[in-house]
Structure 1
Amino acid sequence: MAHILLIPANSPFVVTGALSAKVSTVEEFAQKHRAFAIFNAGFFDPANQKSTSYVVVTGQMVADPKDNERLVNNPQLKPYLNLIFNRSEFRRYLCGQTTRYDITLHNESPPANCRLVDAIGAGPRLLPKLTSVPEGFVDNAKGRDALLSKQLNARTAVGITSEGSIILVMVAQKPSKPKNSGISLVQLADLMKKLGASAAMNLDGGSSSSLYYNGKAFYGKFDLQGNPIKRKVKSVLLVQENVRN
C-alpha cells in the first residue's frame, strides 16, 4: 500500500528536517513538533543511535556521519566511505524571500544567492536516474547491495516536481504478506516518476518506514503475525505550516 502526500508549490506548508537526540517513533516526533505530517528520513545506526546521514536544521549541521565511529571504523565500509560521505540529500534553500527545494549530492554548493536552511541525507537518488553505485550502496563486483534494492520491502521516498511541488511517499507491506510485499528500488523510482516527480530520492526504509498524518501513525513493516513494527528513527521530514513573521 502506498501512502502519498503532495505539498503543492506555493502552498502554506514547508518541508523541514528534524533530528532526535536519541531515537524516536514518528508519534514521539509529532508530540515534540507541531507538524501536519511526518515521514521517516535519514539513515542511522540502531546500535549507537547515531546518524549515518548528514542533517542540517535551520542552517546548522546537527548530524555528521563522520562523527559516527561505528561507520568510520567499519573495515567492510572503508572502501566506500568517500562515496557514503557524498550521498544525495534533500535540501531547502532560502533564495532571497523564496523557498526552493533540491535533491543534490552533499558536496554540492548551494546555488548563487541561496542559503542552505535544511538538509537531510539518505539516498540513493531515484530520479532522473538511479545512482546506487556512485553513492556506495551497490558494488556489483563484490555482490554488495546494502538496501537489498531488488527485493520487495517497505520503502520511503521524497520527490520534487518540475513546478516545485513536494511528493512524500511511504510504501508499506501488506500485513497478510509481510515477507512478500512492498516495493523494489526500481519500482519505487517508477512510482515517483508516475506521480510527477522530476527529481526523487530514496529515504531509509524497511522497519524505519513510517509516517504520521492527521493524528495517526502508519508503519511500513509488519511481523509474521501481521502486527506493525514500530521502530524508532533518528531523523524525519516534517511538513509544517509556514509561519511568516
Structure 2
Amino acid sequence: MERNDDTPRESGKDRDTSPVDTGGKRWTRRRTRRALLAGGLALLLALGGTSAWALDRFVIKHVEITNASALESSATSASDSSTSSDSSTSSDSSTGDTGSTGATTTTATSYQSADTSVTISTVTTGSGSDTVTYYVADVQLSDATDLRSAFADDSFGENITEKTSQIATDNNAVLAINGDYYGFRDTGIVIRNGVVYRDEGAREGLAFYRDGSVKVYDETTTDAQTLVDEGVWNTLSFGPALVEDGETVDGIDSVEIDTNFGNHSIQGEQPRTAIGVIDDNHYVLVVVDGRSEGYSRGVTMTELAQIMEDLGATTAYNLDGGGSSTLWFNGEVVNQPSNGGERATSDILYIEEGS
C-alpha cells in the first residue's frame, strides 16, 4: 500500500515518540519542502523561459520568403531582358546554344554534358586510427551561374531544414553538397542565384561572381546590393577562408564560427565540407568523413586547407561540417555522414542535371 504521509519509515527503536519533537520535526520538514517546492517552481519557470527562447531561436521555423525559386527566376528574367534591350548587336546566326548539342553521359563517378563536367573521386590516407577518407567532386562549367544554391522547402528563413538529398532531388540536381546552414543564424550576407535575401554583414564571406571568379571578402565592409551590382551571383557566410592566393591562411586553427548556444567548436578533427576554385569556372567540392575510427577520423582546419591546396585550389572556404557534411551525386549520398545518415540542413550548392 502506498504511504500518503510525509514521515519516513523508521524502526521502533529509532522512532522518536515525543509529541513535541515529532510535531517540531514535521513542521520543519513541511517548511523545508515548501521552500524546496517554491525554489523548484521558480527554477522550472526560469528553465521554461529559456527553453521557450531556445525553441523559438533554434527549432521553430520562421519563414520569410516562400517559393524562392520563382523569385529567383523572375529576377533572372528581368536581368536578361535588361541585358537584351541594352545590346545593340543583332544575333549571329552562327552562334547557337552549345548546351543543346552533344550527348550527356553519366557513370557511377562522372557526369559529362556539352557545358558541364563532373568527376567524383575517393581518397584515403593513413591507416588504423589515423585513417582519413574524403570525397572530391571536380567540376568544370562553361557558365558560372550553373553553380546554383537552393533552400530547404524552397523557402528562406530560420530553422527551415531538409536533407541535402531531398533539396537536391527537388531541384533536379546531378551533384550537391550541403551549404553554409544560413538558417541557423540571423546574420550574414545571403545572396543566392542573384537575389538578395539578407544583408547583415558579420563575418568573412565567400562571393561567387558571374564571370566565374571567387573571392573571400569582409562582409562588414560592404553591402549586398553593392555585391550584386559588382556581379556577385552567390555568397556563403560561414568560414573561415582556408586558402588564399594558393596558400593556406595563417591562424585558421584558432578561428571559431558562431560559438553561441547550441553550436559546438569547429576546431579539432571533424567531418568537413569545403569548396575551392582552381580557375574560373573550375571548382573542387570536398567532403571529409569523420568520427569513425578505422574509416575516417576527420581532419583539422589546417589539414582541410592542405587538402584543398594539394587539389590546386587558389581560393578555398570552409562550409558547415560535422553531421551536415554530405556529398550527393546522381541520386545517391556518396559519403558516410557521421550521424549514421543525413542530417537536415537549410541549403545546398548544386549543379542541375542538363545544365
Query: Normalized against structure 1, the TM-score is what?
Result: 0.70
Could you list the per-position Cα deviations for residues 49-77 of structure 1 after superposition, in whole angstroms to 9, with x for gaps in the alignment? 5565432123222245x4xxxxxxxxxxx
The code of the aligned residue for 1:100 comes to G
Question: Which one has a bigger Cα radius of gyration?
Answer: 2
Secondary structure in 1 matching 2:203: coil
**Greater Cα offset, 234-243 or 31-40:** 234-243
> What does 1:167-186 align with in structure 2 at a 5 Å threshold?
167-173=284-290, 175-176=292-293, 181-186=297-302
1:202 maps to 318
Q: How many residues align?
A: 203
1:137 maps to 256
Q: Cα gap change, 1:53/1:4 in structure 2, threshold over 3 Å: closer, same or farther? A: farther
Secondary structure in 2 matching 1:23: coil
Residues 171 and 220, structure 1, Cα contact 8 Å, conserved in 2:
no
Bigger strand fraction: 1
1:15 shift after superposition: 1.2
Secondary structure in 2 matching 1:29: helix
1:232 and 2:344 matched:
yes
The code of the aligned residue for 2:242 comes to L
1:28 shift after superposition: 1.1
Q: Cα gap change, 1:199/1:146 in structure 2, threshold over 3 Å: closer, same or farther? A: farther
The code of the aligned residue for 2:318 comes to N
1:221 shift after superposition: 3.8
Could you list the per-position Cα deviations for residues 114-145 of structure 1 after superposition, in whole angstroms to 9, with x for gaps in the alignment? 42222222210001243667x9627xxxxxx9
1:10 maps to 142
1:85 shift after superposition: 0.8
Pick from 49, 52, 55: which aligns with 2:190? 55
Q: Cα gap change, 1:230/1:216 in structure 2, threshold over 3 Å: closer, same or farther? A: same
Q: Distance in 1 between matches of 2:349 and 2:173?
A: 10
1:104 and 2:216 matched:
yes
Q: Distance in 1 between matches of 2:278 and 2:161?
A: 31
2:84 maps to none
Could you list the per-position Cα deviations for residues 183-242 of structure 1 after superposition, in whole angstroms to 9, with x for gaps in the alignment? 11000000000001010000011111112111102455435xxxx242111121112257
Q: Distance in 1 between matches of 2:250 and 2:164?
A: 28
Q: Distance in 2 between matches of 1:6 and 1:115?
A: 24
1:154 and 2:271 matched:
yes
Secondary structure in 1 matching 2:249: coil
Could you list the per-position Cα deviations for residues 141-189 of structure 1 after superposition, in whole angstroms to 9, with x for gaps in the alignment? xxxx96442x1110000000145411100001264558x7011100000
1:103 shift after superposition: 2.6
**Identity among equivalent pairs (%):** 20
Residues 154 and 220, structure 1, Cα contact 8 Å, conserved in 2:
no
Residues 177 and 326, structure 2, Cα contact 8 Å, conserved in 1:
yes
> What does 1:58-73 align with in structure 2 at a 5 Å threshold?
58-64=193-199, 66=200
The code of the aligned residue for 1:157 comes to A
Q: Distance in 2 between matches of 1:59 and 1:148?
A: 29
1:87 shift after superposition: 1.5
Residues 50 and 234, structure 1, Cα contact 8 Å, conserved in 2:
no
Unaligned runs of 5+ in 1: 67-83, 139-144
Secondary structure in 2 matching 1:54: strand
The code of the aligned residue for 1:37 comes to L
Q: Distance in 2 between matches of 1:12 and 1:36?
A: 16
2:82 maps to none
Provide the alpha-carbon RMSD of the alignment: 3.2
Could you list the per-position Cα deviations for residues 27-47 of structure 1 after superposition, in whole angstroms to 9, with x for gaps in the alignment? 1102210111110111346xx
1:102 shift after superposition: 0.7
Q: Distance in 2 between matches of 1:100 and 1:199?
A: 12
